[in-house]
Amino acid sequence: MKASGNFIIRVYGLFIENNKILLSDEFRFNKKMTKFPGGGLKFGEGTIDCLKRECMEELNQEIEILAHFYTTDYFQEAWYFENHQLISIYYLAKFIGNAKFKLSDKPFDFTTEFDGVQSFRWAEIKDISEEELTFPIDRKVLKMLKSQYL
């Protein structure tokens, strides 16, 4: 392993209702991806503040953190950034009040593909396949969710 490099820290919310979880379908870096809602930690920001900010930016939604769920416990190189290690932190969370964002019934419910476009949908935890999620850490979290919620 390289002795030097940089870290990328991502923070995600696991929003679960009636055995369904909220997924984000996005177009970034010229690629379609399915992941859990959340985003990158900014310098000087705490992880909970990061998730709250991301949910306001992406969902226009206030949230409450219920509990820490998982933090990456192995080396994962970042896909889009050379010589960067990815650390992902997942929190169980819930929305404060009713959903203020558009929900879709289908994946990638947007008409144009530009960097940053996204749509959100609920999916039955039991029905999500690992292959449906784009990133390896999300796939590990899905396995953990299935073992705890099914």
What residue numbers bound the domain in which 102 lies? Answer: 6-149
- With respect to residue 61, please indicate whether it lies within any of the assigned structural domains: yes
The set of residues, in sequence order, having a beta carbon less than 8 Å from that of 98 and lying 6+ positions away, is none
DSSP line for 27-65: EETTEEEEE-SEEEPPTT--HHHHHHHHHHHHH---EEE
- With respect to residue 1, please indicate whether it lies within any of the assigned structural domains: no
- With respect to residue 111, please indicate whether it lies within any of the assigned structural domains: yes
Q: Distance between CA atoms of 95 and 83, rounded to whole angstroms?
A: 36
In tens, the pLDDT along 39-54 reads: 999 999 999 999 999 9
Name the residue with tokens 């997924």: 23
In tens, the pLDDT along 111-128 reads: 889 888 999 999 999 999
Considering the entire predicted model, what is its pTM?
A: 0.93
- With respect to residue 42, please indicate whether it lies within any of the assigned structural domains: yes
Q: Distance between CA atoms of 55 and 91, rounded to whole angstroms?
A: 12
Q: How many structural domains comprise the chain?
A: 1
- With respect to residue 11, please indicate whether it lies within any of the assigned structural domains: yes
In tens, the pLDDT along 79-119 reads: 878 899 999 999 999 999 998 899 999 999 998 898 889 99
- With respect to residue 95, please indicate whether it lies within any of the assigned structural domains: yes
- CATH number of the domain within which 17 lies: 3.90.79.10
- With respect to residue 58, please indicate whether it lies within any of the assigned structural domains: yes
